[in-house]
Structure 1
């Protein structure tokens, strides 16, 4: 291995590590607030990249239908609850709240030529289609069983992921897609070539991590989410709406996943079921942070990315085994240092 190869492997490891860091932060965020291990986090990444590929091909993405059907299902659920409580006067508000985004997207996409749109608009449209899927899934799947054990929520997450994989196959087909890069520029660093696309991934990932830090540390709503994660009953007693906290956590999770899909789409070919491996590697990083520490999870994600990149060069056939083996010593450490009674409490 010479310096040029080492630089290329390091660049590739940091780029993929940045994506894993975003996935890991989303997993830690959702688990901290709702106790849900979101196995389907990687599906947001895959759906985002495939949605962007549909926009770039000049066609309406099938995820828009998924968003619309989900909004209808949540609306029916809310109207049923209002009918039980005899509060039918709030139905217009519920309809406006759930159908505004799908209606605006349908009207906008039906009135414009997608081929004439710039990449910036396609990015915004992709985020508008994929990001609302998180709160919809929370309201439909997780909120009714929010007080269940972590094991039940995990089983539910696995079932949801399997369902989303099947829906993804139906929406996008079995073919893989790679989106067009945002930039084809590159520059030389000594004897090594640095891709501007990889640098863009790193910068955007760092910016998102910084935005999350500012949100949780310097905004009232972010502090309310932290309070919910620390003590949900205490937060509820002081007026923090824990249901809204769950929806917000899932929205941030799906938004992070959508951004990750846009970043990784030009780098690698993604399929309808690519989200599972992405979730697993993000989960390895999240475990390194004990499913509680954002900095350790991000650091672990970059470690996973670098180890995976170097393993591709030295032992490509064992790279997945090497990466997933990393989680074992951390699980052992957590099992030895965690008090089961405190966890149950």
Structure 2
């Protein structure tokens, strides 16, 4: 292995690690706020990639139908629980879903600029996060963590099935944001890889500012530290859950848009991608954002170099990384019975 191969593998590892870091941050965020281990995080990645590729092919109406169905389901559930007419928020969401469905049918999607296609993709997927929280997790927010995990796994299975129904078994790949690259010594960095790394760094910086400087970010931090205390201070746990799921959907969809030009994705590809983000999240104990980001970046580098040395065992090597951290957490954490 010479220096040029090391640089090429490092480029691939940093690109993958940047995506895994974003997913690790979203997993830590959702878990710390809601106690939900978001197994379906990868489906947001798949939806983002497939929707972007579908728009460039002139067809992306399937996700609009899903958004409309989720909106109707949430409204019906709220109507059933409250035994009253839908509130203003329900009507606004219904209007939004219908308007977006109509817009996607009327616009010449294939001829739109790439930035507009990306914004439409985000407009489709981001609202699904709060909707899924309201439908699947809000009614059981106080349930045991194991119950929340079972529901999360079930939701993952449902979304994978819907993904197969909407997009089919064929893979999809979108056009790169720009051509060319940047030459550094003997290695030329692909422009799309630079887009991924730069966007990931900007988003991580934006999340830091959001949590440290904004009122809503501080509310999420307070909820993650002490849910009951935050509620007593007037912070709605329901709103915190919706916001955390919305951010997770945004990060997942953006990750899918970024990596769609680099690799062919299939209806079930998101699970493996998010699982590697989960390995990074576990390194931070599902609590620390910086350590989770560093751990996820390390996962990307290990995966890249494992592909060169032992491609048949790269997944085994990557997922074996989780074992030392689990053992360390088990030995250093005081165990206590959870409150019923």
Deviation of 1:225 (Å): 0.7
Out of 315, 320, 338, the position equivalent to 2:315 is: 320
What are the equivalent positions in structure 2 for 1:234-313 lying under 5 Å apart?
Answer: 234-313=229-308
TM-score normalised according to structure 2 size: 0.97
For the residue of structure 2 that corresponds to 1:341, the secondary structure is: coil
Out of 332, 336, 342, the position equivalent to 2:331 is: 336
1:162 aligns with 2:160: no
> 2:49 is matched with which residue?
49
Deviation of 1:92 (Å): 5.4
Change (3 A) 1:69 1:208: same
Change (3 A) 1:283 1:326: same
1:102 aligns with 2:111: no
Judge which range, 270-279 or 99-108, deviates more: 99-108
1:124 aligns with 2:108: no
> 2:189 is matched with which residue?
194
Q: Contact 1:30–1:250 (CA<8 Å) still a contact in 2?
A: yes
> 1:21 is matched with which residue?
21
For the residue of structure 2 that corresponds to 1:251, the secondary structure is: helix
Change (3 A) 1:343 1:200: farther
Which segments of 5 or more consecutive residues in structure 1 lack a partner in the other structure? Answer: none
Change (3 A) 1:344 1:329: farther
Q: Structure 1: which 4+ aligned runs deviate by more than 3 Å? A: 342-345
- Residues 182-225 of structure 1: per-residue CA shift (max 9 Å, x gap): 01111321111111110110000011111111111001111011
Q: Contact 1:74–1:98 (CA<8 Å) still a contact in 2?
A: no
Q: 1: distance between equivalents of 2:338 and 2:273?
A: 27
Judge which range, 1-10 or 95-104, deviates more: 95-104
Deviation of 1:308 (Å): 0.2
For the residue of structure 2 that corresponds to 1:282, the secondary structure is: helix
Q: Contact 1:78–1:94 (CA<8 Å) still a contact in 2?
A: no
1:229 aligns with 2:224: yes
Q: 2: distance between equivalents of 1:194 and 1:60?
A: 31
Change (3 A) 1:202 1:133: same
Deviation of 1:344 (Å): 5.4
Q: Contact 2:60–2:104 (CA<8 Å) still a contact in 1?
A: yes
Q: 1: distance between equivalents of 2:37 and 2:121?
A: 25
- Residues 288-339 of structure 1: per-residue CA shift (max 9 Å, x gap): 0100000000000110000000000000001000000000000001111112
For the residue of structure 1 that corresponds to 2:75, the secondary structure is: helix
What are the equivalent positions in structure 2 for 1:125-140 lying under 5 Å apart?
Answer: 125-140=120-135
Q: 2: distance between equivalents of 1:212 and 1:103?
A: 31
Q: 2: distance between equivalents of 1:8 and 1:344?
A: 50
Q: Contact 1:75–1:94 (CA<8 Å) still a contact in 2?
A: no
Q: Contact 1:201–1:263 (CA<8 Å) still a contact in 2?
A: yes
1:173 aligns with 2:168: yes
Q: 2: distance between equivalents of 1:37 and 1:76?
A: 26
Deviation of 1:76 (Å): 1.0
For the residue of structure 1 that corresponds to 2:173, the secondary structure is: coil
Q: Contact 1:33–1:246 (CA<8 Å) still a contact in 2?
A: yes
> 1:35 is matched with which residue?
35
TM-score normalised according to structure 1 size: 0.96
- Residues 48-107 of structure 1: per-residue CA shift (max 9 Å, x gap): 100111100011331111110000000111222332xxx54xx35144222132122123
Q: 1: distance between equivalents of 2:127 and 2:338?
A: 31
